[in-house]
Each structure stands twice: as C-alpha cells, then as structure tokens.
Amino acid sequence: MSPTTSKPFRTLDDVDVAGKRVLLRVDLNVPMENGKVSDLTRLERVAPTITEIADKGGKVILLAHFGRPKGHDAKDSLQPVAAVLAQLVKRPIAFAADCIGEPAEQAVAALRNGDILCLENTRFHPGEEKNDPAFVAALAALGDIWVNDAFSAAHRAHASTEGLGHKLPAYAGRTMQAELDALGKALDHPAKPVVAIVGGAKVSTKLDLLENLVAKVDALVIGGGMANTFLHAQGVKIGKSLAEKDLAPTARRIMDKAEAANCAIILPVDAVVAYHFEANAPSHAYGLDAIPPDGMILDVGPQSIARIGAVIDDAATLVWNGPLGAFELNPFDKGTVAAARHAAARTKAKKLVSVAGGGDTVAALNQAKVADAFTYISTAGGAFLEWMEGKPLPGVEVLRTK
C-alpha cells in the first residue's frame, strides 16, 4: 500500500486480479479535432494499468466519460477513442454500446481472462453525475472489483468515479498511484524548504489555493495578473494592468496569514509593460515605482526573474500552478520560460523535486520545452487545483483503507 496524505490507499499490489472482472475507471476524455484524437497523452497514461491487469489474467472493463452529453448523443461516443486506445496497447478492445443493461452484460459475459472491453460513455446516463444508487448498482453488477485510474476525475463524486468504491473492493490504478505518490511528496510530506509558484490571471479563481499554500509552504512566489492585485494592495500604481482592485483587502489578508505562518511572499520587483495586449507589442521593463499610467504589466521583469531563480535555488521542493505572465504572447512568456528552465535544471541536478499542474501551466512548460525534466506534471486540471487547495478528493478518499 502507498502512503499519502492521511490513511494509505489500496493499489493493484493488494489484489490478485486473475479471473476477476475488473471495472477500471480511466480518463478517456481526450481532445478531438475533425473526429480524430489530437493528443494521446491521457491514453498513454492509462495504458500501463490496462496491460498490467490484462497480463495478470484480469478481465478489463473500461469505464469512462466523454464530453458533457445530455443523454445519449452519438457525437460523444467512446467508440472512436477505444479504437485508438486499442492501437496504442496493441491489443483488441471490444466495445459495448451501453455501459449498463443487456449490451454491457452480454459483452462482459463474453470476456475471457486477459480480454479488454470498453463500455460506452457513462455520462449517457444522468445517474452517472447524480451518483444515483440504482445506476451504481447496475455498474457494480458488471464487476468483481473497481480500480480507479482517473485522478483527473477524482474531484467529482460521480457513480463511476466514487460511487462504485462503496459497492466493490476498490483499488488505485498505477497512474492514480503515481499521481498520489508525486503529489504526496510535493505537499503532504515534502523535503523542505518548499516553494510554490502561483500565477495566472486572477486572484478570485485561486483564493482557496493561496490560503492553503501559505499555511503549508516556506515561500510563495506570486506572478501573472494576480500579482497586480497584490501590488495594488501594497499601494503600487499598476496603470491599466489586469487586476481585481476590489480584492485588495483579500490580498492583504493573505499576506497577513502568510506572515503569521512564516511563509515568505515573493512578489515581482519589476515588470515588463506594454500598451497593447498582443504578441510583439512594444514593451519595456520598469521598476515598480515607475509603471506608466497607461501601460499594462504583461510579464515579470529581469530583476524578478533573477529573484525567482534564487528562491528556486533555495528550495528542495517546488509546486507550480499558473504562468508568471501572458505567456501565450511572445515575448511575454519570458518570465515563465526562465523560471521553468531554472526549475528544470535544478531538478535534473537532483537538487529539486518539482511538481506542476493545471491546463495553462502544462502548456507553458511544454512551450519552455522542459515538461519532461520536471519530477511530475499533472495533466489533471480541476482535480490538481482542488488538491492544491487542500480539499479531499472523493475519488481518492474512497480508495483509502478504512
């Protein structure tokens, strides 16, 4: 069993799957372009659990949602995704046109040990998102055990992500296990000092996250648009920069809480300012006392980049969510890219455990071409943020030993 936040959770090491019908919850919610899967990352992540269970003689029954259908909708069928997954794992994957009832029952009954079956989109049934007991029971009837390998859906208490864990013996799949182990090392029992970098557009969407982090980390680097709100709260004139000025009292409260918890808040000390929110807009770096009144802060400045580098040098563990500037627009990705490369180099030198997550953050690290050098990158958007907020994830809690 693997240790994590509180009680340990059960893994595939705790069960003999041979001959068992294994309901395996995976994340098959892949991006599609013109009817084709455009990014295989999620499929690559679940492949090892699928092949391990099949190789051990389990009957693999894949459960997943796709999109946000309202009832049965052919455009959200999992069938094309299952076909791509079959190519990836280099084995046939049978498909059942419904995830409960006769089509599913017949397909499950036809499975031999080591076979793989994918059931149709669980969200074709409203009982999935309602965690409806009758729907959970119908799913549970198809399996002997439930393995959850979808960390990215674990913040939702749906039938296939949580409900089944109350009906069947429940285990973490290998991807879930790796994610929980990595996240545990980053915040629950980290090597100290721990530094967090939080960026992105707004304070309002990351309030819970900031509040949780100041209580846990030794230093909190704040960048991006949200840093402007903090600078404004400190009396810095930020011109026309994106900011939530009404949240100045909130920003001050977070800074007070940080001080009480001995967490250093690292704000930008200079800024790159432009006059238009667009790529290659003419820009210039200014000290905080000289931000032009009609300018917009779009990135942290060179002195801030050096300071963030020094903070990373002092850290043993780094947790990162959110870009330090408007990274989609060249050259306002400079601060984010520099910090990412610095963290990657420290990680490669075995001086740093680095964990990052969230949609934009993963995109920014990919842009900096350093994603592979980080200790762990979580592709789970909402679930990663809720974990950073310190909230229990229902789909994880249900895997813990009681």
Catalytic residue among 21, 25, 42, 346: 42
Closest CA to 241 of 200, 203, 292: 292
List, as one string, the DSSP characters of 126-139. HHHHHT-HHHHHHH
Interface stretch with ligand AMP, choices 134-142, 209-217, 318-326, 365-373 (CB under 6 A): 318-326
Measured CA distances, 75 to 78, 107, 179, 399 (Å): 9, 22, 31, 32
Kindly state the tokens that stand for 129. 């998102």
List, as one string, the DSSP characters of 241-265. ----GGGHHHHHHHHHHHHHTT-EE
Catalytic: 301? no
CA 156 – CA 379 distance, rounded (Å):
16
Count of beta carbons in the 10 Å neighbourhood of residue 204:
12
Q: Alpha carbon 305 to chain centroid distance?
A: 25
Residue 207 touching ligand AMP (CB under 6 A): no
Least distance to ligand AMP, CB of residue 328, Å: 5
Kindly state the tokens that stand for 398. 């249900």
Residue 269 touching ligand AMP (CB under 6 A): no
Least distance to ligand AMP, CB of residue 126, Å: 30
Catalytic residue among 114, 309, 381, 382: 382
Residue 198 touching ligand AMP (CB under 6 A): no
Catalytic: 42? yes
Residue 323 touching ligand AMP (CB under 6 A): yes
CA 318 – CA 195 distance, rounded (Å):
5
Catalytic: 35? no
Least distance to ligand AMP, CB of residue 364, Å: 8
Residue 357 touching ligand AMP (CB under 6 A): no
Nearer to ligand AMP, 87 or 205 (CB): 205
Residue 200 touching ligand AMP (CB under 6 A): yes
Give just the sign of the alpha carbon dihedral 170, 176, 177, 181: negative
Using CB under 6 A, pick the residue from 96, 108, 219, 297 that binds ligand AMP. Answer: 297
Q: What does the angle CA 368 – CA 231 – CA 364 come to, to the nearest 5 degrees?
A: 15
Least distance to ligand AMP, CB of residue 143, Å: 37
Catalytic: 130? no
Residue 239 touching ligand AMP (CB under 6 A): no
Catalytic residues: 42, 202, 359, 382
Residues that bind ligand AMP (CB under 6 A): 199-202, 205, 224-225, 242, 297-298, 322-323, 325-328, 360
